[in-house]
Structure 1
Amino acid sequence: MTRTLVVDLLGFTGGRGGTETYAREITGRLPALLPGTRLAALVSAPGAAEVRSFFPGDVEPVPAVGASPSSWAAGEVFRAERAARGLGATALWAPANFGPVRRGIPRAVTIHDLIYHQVPGAGRERLFRRVTAELMARSARTADAVIAVSHATGEEVRRRLGLPADRVHVVPNGTTPPPVPADRRTDATGRRLVLSTGNRMPHKNHVGLLEAVAVMPPASRPDVVITGGGTDDPLAADVHRLGLQDRVQLPGWVSGAELEELYRRADVYVCPSLLEGFGLPVLDALGRGCVVVANDIPVLREVGGDTVFYTDAEDPGALARTIDRALASADDETRRAAGRAWAGRFTWDAAAAGTAAVLDRLLDGRAGTGREEHRP
C-alpha cells in the first residue's frame, strides 16, 4: 500500500524567512529519501502558488485559511487534521513550529525555536505571544515525534515542554553555499565594514550592536550595515540617538544578490542575538569567508564551533572590544578558510536525510524507536 506523507504548509506565504527556507530545502529532497511515498501539502489559498513552485507533490488549499497568523492558527486547530485525512494521510509533518493540537494521524513537528516561550513581550504583544506559545506547546506535546534543529533547542524543548527524550530528535539545519564562490572585495578607502542581518525583534539585539559601535573612538569606528527592518526601520531612531548617522546604513530588506555583495565587502559579521533556535546567519557568514562575532550563548557556540569570536553582547564595551579584535583578524586567510570548512559541514542533504529517517519511522508506525541525534 502506498504511504502518504502530508506536509502542513498552512502558514507558508513566501515571506516568513528561515522556516520557509527550511521547508523548501527539505521537501525538495524527500522524494529521493522516501521512495514510493506520495507527498501532499496542505496550504492556504494565498500560499498555494508559492508552494506549487517548489513542492514535489500534490498541493491542497484548505478553505477559509488566509495569510494572517490568526487564520493560520485557526486552520491548525480546526481544519488541518480533517484535511489531511481527506488526502489519505499515513502521517503528517508540520515543518514550521505549529501543527494540529490534538492526537490523531501520526505526526511529527519541527521546532525551530521557543522564542515565544522565552520572550514574553508586553501589552497586546504579550497576549499574542502567550497564545502562540500555548499552541506550539500543545502541538509538540501531542506529536509522536519532535524534530529540533539544534541540540540547544532540543534541550529547551525537553526542559520547557516536559517531553521524554525518545520523542525529541535533533537534526541540525543546513546552510546554502554561495551561488558562485567570489573573491573578497575590500573598500578602496581602507574603511572596515561590519555587517549584521535580521528582523527587528528585540532579542536580535541590534540596538546592542549600535551601542557597541558608539563606545568605540570615533576615528576607529567601522562602517556598519544592518539589513532588515523595512522602510520605516525602528533602528533609525537609535542611530540618531547615538550620533552614528555617518557610520550606519539601514538598507531595509535586500535581495539575495545584494546580500551576497555585502558578504563580499564585509570584514566582520556580527550576530548579537540574545536568543536563537539555530543561528543560520552565523553559518551563512562563515561560509562566505567572513570573520564572525557572536553572542556567547550555547546555540551559537554549537553552530559556530571554534571559528567564531564570542562575547557578551549585552555589554557594549565587551562587544566593541571583540569587534576590534575581529577586525584585526579580518585579513587572516587561515581563519577565513577554517570558517568556510566548518560551515561546509552543515548541509541540507544531511538535514534532509536526518529528517527523512524520522518521517520514515513515523510512516511505518515506529515513531518511538531509533532516536535521531546528529552532529555536524
Structure 2
Amino acid sequence: METYTRELYRALGAMPGDWEYIGYVSKEGADLDLSWFPGRIGESGISGENRFIWAWGELSQVARAARREKVDLVHSPATLGPRRTAMPTVVTMHDMLYWSHPELMTTPLYTAPVKWMERKAAANAARVVTISPTSQREINKYLGVPSDRIDVIPLAGEAPKNVDRRLAGSEGPLILAMGNRRPHKNWGALIRAAALIPALQRPRIVITGGRGDDPLAPLVQSLGMGEWVELKGWIDDAEVARLYSVATALAIPSFAEGFSLPTLEAMEAGLPALLSDIEVHRYVGGDAARYFDPSDDQALAGLLTEVCTDPGLVADMTEAGLARAREFTWARTARDTRAVFEEALLTSRS
C-alpha cells in the first residue's frame, strides 16, 4: 500500500490542473522522505506502529482534519477510512482477505475489528476504488457495495533500479521469491516442490521478506534443504538489484492476493514469473506468465525444472513479460483515479 500511495500521488502531481493535495501522515511517516507528495503534509501525531491506534485515527481523526482544512474530498488509500465525513470520500480497498480467507490470517484478534472497520469505511464512501476484478466482486459480496460504485483501477510496476539481466544464471539456476510469511503466501509449496527435484537439477531458492525467527526454517530443516534454500529478511535496494539480476525466475505460489505488484515489477525487469493459478494472477500476468496449481507441489516442481533447463522458454517469457508490463502504468492509474475523484465530487453536488 505504501508503493501504491507513493506512486499514485507522484503521478497525480504530474497531471495538469489546479488540484491541491494535503497529505495526512502518521508520526513515523512525517520523518520519512515525502518529496514525492505533490502538496502540503499534515502530521497527524498518531503512531502507525500500533494497528488499532492507527485504525482509530483513520475512523475518527481523518474526518476532523478534513473538516478543519475545509477540503472538498477525502481519499483513503489504504483500505480503511473515516466512519463519517461531511464531504465525499473515496476509499481504495486492496483486498478482502480478512473476509475471504480468515483462516489464513496471522492476526485472528484483528480480524473481527478489521471487518467492522472496512464495513464502516465502505458505507461512508461515495466511491470505492479497488485493484482487480477479484477484489471488486468480493467487496460487493462481503460489504454490500453496489458494483456500480466500485471502480477497478489496476496498479503498475516499476523494475528495481540497477538490474542487469545479462547476469541471469551467473550463480546457477536460482528461483527468487519475495514477501511476508503470512500463510496465504504458501511459501512452503515452493520449498517442498524444490525438494522433489533431483539434487543435480535442483535450483537454489531464495525467499526474502522474513522477520525474526523465520517460520519456514523448520520446513527447510525437516526436508534437508538447507543447502538449496536461503531465507532472508528484508533486504536493501542493492541486494534486490543483485537478486533480480542473477535469478532465473520469480515464483509466487499464493493461495490468494488482491493484486500482484511483484509480478509486474519482475516482468518490467525482464524476469520471468511463475504464478499460482488464481484469478488475480491471470488478470495481472496474462499470457506472459506460467501458472501452476498452488496445491500441487509436483506440478510446481515440473515447472521449476522446465524454466531452469529451457533457455528458449525463458527468452519467450522475458519478451512477453516486458510487453505485458507496459500495459500497466502509474499515469493510467492516476488518470483513472482522478476521474473517480471528479465523479465523487460531481455526485455530491447534484
In 2, distance between residues paired with 1:104 and 1:139?
Answer: 14
In 1, distance between residues paired with 2:104 and 2:203?
Answer: 34
Cα pair distance change 1:123/1:192, threshold 3 Å: closer
Worse-matched range after superposition: 87-96 or 174-183: 174-183
Q: Do the aligned residues in 1 keep the contact of 2:28 with 2:48 (CA within 8 Å)?
A: yes
Cα pair distance change 1:245/1:23, threshold 3 Å: same
Q: Give 1 or 2: higher helix fraction.
A: 2
Any residues of structure 2 matched to 1:29-48 within 5 Å, and which?
29-33=11-15, 35-48=17-30
Query: Mind listing any 5+ residue stretches in structure 1 that lack a counterpart?
Result: 1-18, 370-376
2:321 matches 1:339 = yes
2:145 matches 1:163 = yes
After TM superposition, give the deviation of residue 107 of structure 1 in Å.
Answer: 0.3
Cα pair distance change 1:201/1:181, threshold 3 Å: closer
2:250 corresponds to which letter in structure 1?
Y
**Percent of pairs with identical residues:** 35
Worse-matched range after superposition: 337-346 or 37-46: 37-46
Q: Do the aligned residues in 2 keep the contact of 1:309 with 1:326 (CA within 8 Å)?
A: no
In 2, distance between residues paired with 1:323 and 1:237?
Answer: 22
1:47 corresponds to which letter in structure 2?
G
Tell me the alpha carbon deviations over residues 221-277 of structure 1, each in whole angstroms, 9 at most, x when there is no partner: 111111110242221121101110010111211112211211111112111011111
The equivalent of 1:136 in structure 2 is: 118
Equivalent in 51, 56, 63 of residue 69 of structure 1: 51
In 1, distance between residues paired with 2:316 and 2:106?
Answer: 49
2:295 corresponds to which letter in structure 1?
E
2:331 alignment partner, SS class? helix
The equivalent of 2:240 in structure 1 is: 259
1:161 corresponds to which letter in structure 2?
L
After TM superposition, give the deviation of residue 186 of structure 1 in Å.
Answer: 3.8
Q: Do the aligned residues in 2 keep the contact of 1:282 with 1:292 (CA within 8 Å)?
A: yes
Q: Do the aligned residues in 2 keep the contact of 1:267 with 1:330 (CA within 8 Å)?
A: no
Cα pair distance change 1:301/1:130, threshold 3 Å: same
The equivalent of 1:304 in structure 2 is: 285
The equivalent of 2:156 in structure 1 is: 174
The equivalent of 1:353 in structure 2 is: 335
Tell me the alpha carbon deviations over residues 58-104 of structure 1, each in whole angstroms, 9 at most, x when there is no partner: 11122455531111011122211011110111000001111102353
The equivalent of 1:50 in structure 2 is: 32
1:182 corresponds to which letter in structure 2?
D
Query: Mind listing any 5+ residue stretches in structure 2 that lack a counterpart?
Result: none
1:216 corresponds to which letter in structure 2?
I
1:166 alignment partner, SS class? helix
Q: Do the aligned residues in 2 keep the contact of 1:227 with 1:253 (CA within 8 Å)?
A: yes
2:155 alignment partner, SS class? coil
Any residues of structure 2 matched to 1:1-376 within 5 Å, and which?
19-33=1-15, 35-50=17-32, 52-121=34-103, 125-180=107-162, 182-188=164-170, 191-332=172-313, 333-362=315-344, 364-366=345-347
In 2, distance between residues paired with 1:176 and 1:318?
Answer: 30
Cα pair distance change 1:277/1:23, threshold 3 Å: same
1:79 corresponds to which letter in structure 2?
Q
Worse-matched range after superposition: 293-302 or 329-338: 329-338
In 2, distance between residues paired with 1:42 and 1:309?
Answer: 41
Cα pair distance change 1:122/1:220, threshold 3 Å: closer
In 1, distance between residues paired with 2:14 and 2:107?
Answer: 42
After TM superposition, give the deviation of residue 220 of structure 1 in Å.
Answer: 1.8
1:250 alignment partner, SS class? strand
In 1, distance between residues paired with 2:170 and 2:154?
Answer: 39
After TM superposition, give the deviation of residue 26 of structure 1 in Å.
Answer: 0.8
TM-score, length-normalised on structure 1? 0.87
After TM superposition, give the deviation of residue 122 of structure 1 in Å.
Answer: 8.4
In 2, distance between residues paired with 1:353 and 1:47?
Answer: 26
1:337 corresponds to which letter in structure 2?
E
Tell me the alpha carbon deviations over residues 314-343 of structure 1, each in whole angstroms, 9 at most, x when there is no partner: 111121112222223344423311111111
2:113 alignment partner, SS class? helix
In 2, distance between residues paired with 1:302 and 1:123?
Answer: 23
Tell me the alpha carbon deviations over residues 263-292 of structure 1, each in whole angstroms, 9 at most, x when there is no partner: 111112111011111111111112222222
TM-score, length-normalised on structure 2? 0.93
In 2, distance between residues paired with 1:176 and 1:78?
Answer: 34
1:266 corresponds to which letter in structure 2?
A
Q: Would you say how many aligned residue pairs link Structure 1 and Structure 2?
A: 349
Cα pair distance change 1:51/1:182, threshold 3 Å: closer
Cα pair distance change 1:368/1:355, threshold 3 Å: farther
